[in-house]
Chain A
Amino acid sequence: MSWIDIGHIDDIPVRGARLLKTRVGCIAVFRTAEAEVFAASNTCPHKQGPLVEGIVHGQKVTCPLHNWVFDLNTGEAQGADEGRIATYPIRLDGDRILIDGDAVDQRSAA
């Protein structure tokens, strides 16, 4: 793994998200608590809604277009909906947010 610094934790509001542009497409970086972050595909598999704009609750996000809910740990859609979003290794080093550079730099976009 090669960890890349993508910003300060306070660049993302608690229970909010910011967009990260990468070679594998747009990734949503979520902050679910004071010191808890997740990274997942920004694109809802249903109608391609931007998950970065969704409401973040617990360790889940709700798509703003049609309320699909995804678990950010697994990327799995919750409830009756079936689908999955890609998740990416991400961690905090103190106040800095680090993402796995290898995972977001594949030549063939997923």
Chain B
Amino acid sequence: MTEKLVIIGAGMASGRVIEHLIENAPDAYDITLFNAEPRGNYNRIMLSPVLSGEKTYEEIVTHDDTFYADHNVICRFGEKVAGIDRAAKTVTAANGDVLPYDKLILGTGSDPFMIPLPGHDLDGVIAYRDLEDTERMMSLGPDNKCVVIGGGLLGLEAAAGMAARGVDVTVVHIMGHLMERQLDEAAGYLLKKSLESKGINICLKANSKEIVGEDGKVKALLLEDGTELPCDLLVMAVGIRPSVGLAKEAGLAVGRGIHVDDQMLSSDENVFAVGECVEHDGAVFGLVAPLYDQAKVLAQTLLGETAAFKQKVLSTKLKVTGCDLFSAGDFADGDGREDIVFRDPSRGIYKRLVIEGDKLIGAVMYGDTADGNWFFDKIKSGESIEEMRETLIFGPAYQGGAAADPLSAVAALPLDAEICGCNGVCKGTIVDAIAGGATDLGAIKATTKASASCGTCTGLVEQLLQVTLGDDFQMPQAQPVCGCTDLAHEDVRRLIKSQELKSQAAVWQELGWTTPNGCHVCRPAVNFYLLADWPIEYQDDPQSRFVNERKHANIQKDGTFSVVPRMWGGITNPTELRAIADAADKYNVPTVKVTGGQRIDLLGVKGEDLPHMWADLNKAGLVSGHAYSKGLRTVKTCVGTDHCRFGTQDSTGLGIKLEKLLWGSWTPHKVKLGVSGCPRNCAEATCKDIGVICVDSGYQIGVAGAAGMDVKETELLCQVPTEEECIEVIVAMTQIYRENAKYLDRIYKWVNKVGLDWVKEVVVDDLENRKALVERFELSQSIYRKDPWAEHAREKADTYAPLADLTPLAAE
């Protein structure tokens, strides 16, 4: 006898159930199909091609009216179900009709998650879920702006689809890289680059604050940092959750989704559920493959056959708007794992394999996903990959090959890439010169001027010689930064500038790093190079800093810290001294020491006390002395004309002015200044990185002094008549050092490499260049000239305390 089957929701999973039933037992059930959307089953995955205009809605319809008519499915589309009476075995439609059922299937799918931001109910704020949303997006054109919140698959497809229509699209994503669930950081970087080349703006680590409206309609998205992104439409694509409202009201067991067993049966023996609305063994589902498996199991169960749904390891092979992506297995968390990374910067390819013991357990690929299924097979089979470990990443076609070419980063550079920044020489010019017979460094210098000025691009020029000439060129051995790369510091700096690399992920990928995210040697250097060259675009990464710069205090051998407040030019007053004394008392500071830089060091402070001590010191106007940083430390002064009978200028005043200008700036290594009011030199300015000796006729500026492992007197950079010009030269000097030097080279080491004459040329003689250096320094200081103590005490104090304290647990 034919039973009555009611299905709520005409989605892809329930559609597949209907197909199986019709195919195997067309007369077993009378089917009634409800759908809240005013249409039947269509291929929701293909909404993106509809949005971009590659397909029409008609082309993505799975079941049309004829299908339902031919198979006697009673369609109630555009009708919601108001309730389920499980005792009476009936469902009530929104219009009041009561329909009896023998078996009921819930295929209610999922609901888009809407962030409850102020303004989320404005007109023009939509999700990306159904045809209506898609049509709304399709109504936009080249004159419109759209903001998409969410950098996951759905958000990016929405963005790319609209960008294809000429819409000005900005994607706002809260995480540090795109599609963080499917991709790791490096692949996320490549995806971002590809999308940006399609004209899509991408804001990462961006917190949405408020949706701004006008006359009830969306006008802009406001971010936490104050950025306002104007838009005519705002799409929220931040995730979906199983739609369980109806099931919950009917009293079915519900967790994150509707609980089902291996037969897709809910907690009621006559009610089944299938698709995105279910929760099976703790998991919920978003990809289509497991949903089709569920549909088949459910159909078999309805027909009295034995079947069980099993969750499988999943692989995701995606094409996001022309970019090939593949991820499979577990590439994120766990113990005892090892990474194999392969990067080919010239072809934009990234592959990462995750190995546990002798098994492959995860893979992420970008750009070239041809071997994806081969890797996926290895993951599923769990076979030992020990034999092919060395060559595994090259795929099935390449067993027993050689290692990647260390010169590939340079080989991959386009011909218009600038190699020599001083003389504006690009790769093409050098390659032409080599072809014209310049086969060694000297000849290149003579014919193109490349590496003939500061010389920091020498390594790159030599690599170009080798790439172009092959074995005919004997490469001098340059010292690579560390084991993560074959490039030297100078090469990395040059390429960050010329290739406009503005993130760590960009450096790792484009320069062919062999580790996922560098090491303790290269990452602090790369972090500095990026923030020095791109102060606006790049955000300083505390996790790439040595502990002292991350915690803004100096770690001591017992794990405690030392705290040194700034004393501008070495000048203090009774209020500051009282605050320091009070802090020393309050936090039981064991040692208080006067430093060589004319300030006071509080030694032996516990890490968790730091933000509290800083807050106390801040109240007295004291700020960080940066005694821990590769940056400006102190400006040591004598009392000058204020009190001294020999003083020729206001050395204290100049020292304070310099310190107020330079403080907070990051430099390749520490920078110490001194200003002496006369040649008696009480401030010991002639052994500082930069030192000023005041004389009657003006200011003698010396640079490249040292009083550490090496002791060295400063060399005269220039003498200038006014205080104003003195300050300008010192700021320009600091900036050229920031832009040019190798990380951890003090000024004297760097000047020894580039030559004082070159420094004089760019800082003293070339007035235009001097002004430009000062401007760039000021731009950077607009971000970094601030007190990190105040910021940490205010915003990060929690992070200085332990995450948790489990010691009381053991108490008896």
Contact = CB atoms under 8 A, between A and B. Distances in A.
B690 interface: no
Interface in B387-427: none
A41 to B, nearest CB: 13
Interface stretch (B55-63, B241-249, B334-342): B334-342
A20 B333 contact: no
Contacts of B802: 18-21, 26
A61 B761 CA distance: 43
* Chain A, interface residues (CB within 8 Å), range: 35 or more
13 contacts: A6-B804, A6-B806, A13-B799, A15-B544, A19-B802, A21-B804, A23-B810, A34-B176, A36-B333, A53-B550, A62-B520, A73-B338, A92-B333
B184 interface: yes
Given A16-B542, A58-B515, 7 more contacts: A13-B543, A14-B176, A33-B184, A55-B523, A58-B517, A65-B555, A69-B520
A77 interface: no
Interface of B: 175-176, 180, 184-185, 332-339, 515-520, 523-524, 542-547, 550-551, 555, 557-559, 607, 799, 802-807, 809-810
Interface string A43-66: 000011110011111111010110
B799 A18 contact: yes
A56 B335 CA distance: 15
A89 B802 CA distance: 19
Contact of B519 (A16, A58, A92): A58
Contacts, number: 124
A99 B804 CA distance: 11
Contacts of A67: 520
B806 A4 contact: yes
Interface string A84-95: 000101011000
B30 to A, nearest CB: 42
Contacts of A12: 803
A81 interface: no
A64 to B, nearest CB: 4
A55 B803 contact: no
B810 A15 contact: no
The 7 lowest CB-CB distance pairs between A and B, nearest first, are A62-B520, A18-B803, A53-B547, A15-B543, A55-B520, A6-B804, A21-B805
B806 A23 contact: yes
A53 B802 CA distance: 12
A33 B180 CA distance: 10
Contacts of B544: 15, 55
Given A6-B804, A54-B547, A69-B520, A48 B559 contact: yes
Contact of B551 (A21, A29, A53, A107): A53
Contact of A49 (B550, B559, B805): B559
A55 B337 contact: no
Contacts of A34: 175-176, 180, 332
A82 interface: no
Interface string A5-33: 01100011111101111110010010001
Of B542, B547, B804, B805, most buried by chain A (CB within 10 Å of CB) is B804
A62 B806 contact: no
